[in-house]
Structure 1
């Protein structure tokens, strides 16, 4: 790398005093400032000091930027006649100014900004950027801020660069020759770092657990902004052969790279490379990407191009939102009419991912606001809220309470799915509001409090003797369509063995009363589910109900005909017996017809001790919980 002295000798015409450089800025100029952690702090502060010393040097300049993490000294009220901000994305440092009318916000997809500059629909008169020291060939790197910065540099009349030895040299399209820069100021200082907002560890773990159930080995992933997303990435560390094609490279993603879960070996584009457009994180992360050939930065109109995103098989976009309504509309940019962040690149990735072969998107959010006083799942978006994701955009929504699969679901189904992953405190309110809006059945039942609190701890994955992976989980109030489909898939014989009669018709009222809306403290319905192409399919159902005034429960198991003799019944009954014992039950009773030898075989295989009683042509098998291994009597 060239030293400061060598730079002066080789390019003396580009090195001047700050007064000489900033003296060339004219009234009305548009000044671009590099993005996020790539902001040239020394240049910005020096510019402001120059204006403070020369208040009439220029007026009405417009500051163009994407994400300001610095102190933004140009926003000082006393400099109002000199500077006005125009942001393509809103950070906490500019939020108040935008919402008070003291700064401007341009809502636009970040992928469209480079063309604004190149077509001069938005002119850039001066670009303030930060680069690494030039190498012996005269090439500097834009480092952690490529995004829209390169387009600004190539479009600007004047480019002023702060050379900072702390800026990493990042592979990809980050390199500029010194000849492309008009003025150089060498000043080393620590780069801005971006500590993501803190998230409660337990909440992050739960959300991460559900996200990991959706993400598959070999997926190419994109992770958006925010503390929840950054924290939940850790849950993917056990995955294999993941790829990364993203806008933002965060600390969480870099830790995932270090874990070995990401090798980019299955990507269709840029195989073997982690592709991003800019980086915001810690010094450790910046050191990791420095001269790392596995990291490739590209301009934001490439990384965020939906056609490029869609070219990746199994593309999975994971982003967050501020709130989502019961119809599936989500806002990630405003809280009501209050601007909060921006359009950004989320929409590109969420839509590009679903265009990809076997692609999908996941919207992640904490179920409540940080103070817990309001639900992020709401009956309708607040008035004035920007709709970032429409009703047709989303595949999955994840909170710490579970997964709602929205793609291809009608309004009633998606409303019920979203209610099940809302905070239990707000579920009764959401049920009533959904009824008022005719989104769900007018007689939709719900059990508040402990009786209706979903026992997520009973969820488990099992692999049957035929190597079929199944999810065993308690029924949810949103499962009515699944159970209805399951019931009508059963043969008359299977229905007769389960109900002792051929009861084909199962109306909504009976379905929700007996199988869907249950008192978890007195009964349990466990579903055996196969996950196919992002859709849940019920292939078995086990149920127990407490018998009055006893510590015994009646148990039943039924398996879909085309999945019988595969070990699913064994896994369900085993899980149900274990659940019953953990609840302190003394006995479970299984009622069967004399010719139902399959249940006898299940019980024998489980090694359960039981007592046999006959009554009106029905056999009652009474299984003791005292000894789960023993001889039958």
Structure 2
């Protein structure tokens, strides 16, 4: 028969101490780990300072903590020296002033450093839930590196707090491993949800566009992660494998967006190493079987992360240079935060089947005066994620896909998503460094993401129709060189043999108002350009000269009709009167596209070429005028 004893203080009376009594057990010259995040044992921490007169040359280590850090106050240097695995606001000044140290290390590797005793933990100060009938406490909201610390420390001192949620997973510890138990009763520190502005929301929408249904997410805490989560409300069957978890994840679980059903690793389980958020989040986590708390040796191992199919890793940065290097732990040459789990998840997601590693940041700092997309980093800047690891970079101005791109393509893609006020300077710097062509241009117009549309052909093949961007130059050049001689003649009304950079740059240099181009993209990632339409407005008659091109193997499938319909929608919305096109007499397929458009057509034939005028003012319900079977510039 199981005997249940609810008064743990009676059961373990020989272990119960005050915080002041507990810290007296700590020897001099030992390394002390302080529990992470909202699980910081603040009574024990305060007792270290207030009642630790016997201590000398003790090193204190931890990840980011939410409470105060009195041990870094000036005047305590002979007693304590702090080493931060991740620099939080509460110790940043001490690190800057040289009164504390910073250890750059991947979060995934801290547990092995601890367990191997290379970074020996002598004393662990932690906060736990009350013990159950079997004598097990839960590490609650922070398992992360604490799991390794309590498994290897010689001395474990634990605050026991009834407000600490009892979480599932690898979070349980028997009181036999704890030297002293310190009763406390206080609310855990909360991290308030910051209100989102339009920049945050724009970043969230761009990142969310990269997240498919059934994806597994890694996201952090802060405005950008919250914006991403808010933008995912329409997705289905998402999962979570992350190092940290906030209220936004909880809300998506409650709405049925996050189900974890389609996860390839631990399906049905929401995997994380620590929680930080509201009191409601902590209450939700209590005894919740969907929550699987693991140490970061598991959550952050790139090989384990990669076992999650469609792994979407979303990480923040302080700055990105024009080659794709990411600075995330230094700011203006000074240590600011830490490596954390960014590289772990970027590399894990890159190796996941269908995975996407994403770096997200605002395009500017200091009220827009400083670009976070930079020509090069200043002296003292730390590269957390190498240019070889970076795939996607996202700002409020769009998405730069850098994977498999050369330096010229990377620089141009990043300048495109920089703030318009800084693009000219970035382009000049890129030219000075010979990153781009000397005649390279860049648009100050923002890319019109809102014009992108998913569509299907009659065969059921899915396409993405989106506006052309400057960084599409190579893709369009490839499109033209893959055309047959006949298709080239239809498009250019001549046997054109070369498509140099100068021509391609002119083709992709758009203001998205007086000229517009749409590409049709196919493939699993919708990144293979199979067709394009472009128009240029003649202000004299408010008509746009339009031209089409479609890869030979995609002709006859409806790509031209799809592009025509999309261009007509855009042109109507911009108040244009219609289109003009020069069409070869022999190009009957292109003419069918124009005839099916619903526009009123008029044709003038000269030297085997029809000049077609297609107007939007055809009476509703009437069939458009049919010509004798001409052909437009290009082909369907």
TM-score (ref. length: structure 1): 0.94
Mapped to 2, the partners of 1:600 and 1:44 lie a distance apart of: 79
Stretch of structure 1 that moved more, 114-123 or 424-433 = 114-123
Report how far residue 250 of structure 1 moved: 1.9
Tell whether 2:168 aligns with 1:176: no
C-alpha distance in 2, partners of 1:399/1:579?
Answer: 25
On the 8 A contact 1:330/1:387 being kept in 2, the answer is yes
Deviations 1:413-440 (A, max 9, x none): 1111111111111111111110000011
1:6-60 per-residue CA deviation (whole Å, 9 max, x = no partner) reads 2232112101233332222233222211001111122222333324xxxx42222
RMSD, matched Cα: 2.1
Q: Give the unaligned 5+ runs of structure 2.
A: 626-636
Equivalent in the alignment of 1:292: 288
Matched position secondary structure for 1:254:
helix
Match of 2:479 in 1: 486
8 Å Cα contact 1:404-1:418 kept in structure 2: yes
Q: Which runs of 5+ in 1 are unaligned?
A: none
- For residues 256-295 of structure 1, give each alpha carbon's deviation from its aligned partner in whole angstroms, at most 9, with x where no partner exists: 2223222222333222111111111111111111111111
State the Cα deviation string for residues 420-477 of structure 1 (Å, max 9, x = none): 11111111111111000001111112344xxx44333322222222222222222211
Equivalent-residue separation in structure 2 for 1:377 and 1:224 (angstroms)? 21
Please tell me whether the aligned partners of residues 98 and 104 of structure 1 are also in contact (alpha carbons under 8 angstroms).
Answer: yes
Deviations 1:540-563 (A, max 9, x none): 111111225221221122221111
Contact 2:411–2:435 (CA under 8 A) maintained in structure 1: yes
Deviation of 1:197 after TM superposition, in Å, equals 5.1
1:331 aligns with 2:331: no
- Decide which of 511, 521, 527 is 2:504's aligned counterpart: 511
In structure 2, the residue matched to 1:36 is 37
Q: How does 1:243-258 map to 2 (within 5 A)?
A: 243-258=239-254
Aligned residue runs from structure 1 range 131-142, under 5 A: 131-142=128-139
Specify the alignment match of 2:381 in structure 1.
Answer: 385
Give the corresponding residue for 1:157: 154
- SS at 1:509's partner residue? helix
Distance 1:628 1:372 in 2: 49
CA distance in structure 2 between the aligned counterparts of 1:302 and 1:150, rounded to whole angstroms: 11
Task: Work out whether 1:61 is the aligned partner of 2:53.
Answer: no
Q: Which of 598, 617, 625 is residue 626 of structure 1 equivalent to?
A: 617
Instruction: Report the equivalent of 2:512.
Output: 520
Are positions 1:368 and 2:364 aligned together? yes
Shift of 1:571: 1.7
Once residues 606 and 256 of structure 1 are traced to their aligned partners in structure 2, the CA distance between those partners, rounded to angstroms, is 42
For residues 285 and 8 of structure 1, the distance between their equivalents in structure 2, rounded to whole angstroms, comes to 27
Alpha-carbon distance in structure 2 between the residues aligned to 1:370 and 1:195: 23
For 2:3 and 2:160, the matched residues in 1 are separated by 11
Work out whether 1:570 is the aligned partner of 2:571.
no
**Alignment check: 8 A CA contact 1:277 1:299 kept:** yes
Work out the CA distance in 2 between the residues paired with 1:334 and 1:233.
Answer: 26
Q: 1:345 aligns with which of 341, 346, 359?
A: 341
Taking the aligned partners of 1:193 and 1:173, their CA distance within structure 2 comes to: 23
Q: Is 1:551 aligned to 2:542, yes or no?
A: yes
- 1:304 matched to 2:300? The reply is yes
Q: Separation in 2 of the partners of 1:279 and 1:392? A: 31
Higher mean Cα deviation, 219-228 or 8-17?
A: 219-228
Question: Retained in 2: the 8 A contact 1:330–1:381?
Answer: no
TM value normalised by structure 2: 0.93
Aligned runs of 1:201-240 on 2, under 5 Å? 202-240=198-236
Distance in structure 2 (CA, Å) of the matches to 1:5 and 1:220: 39
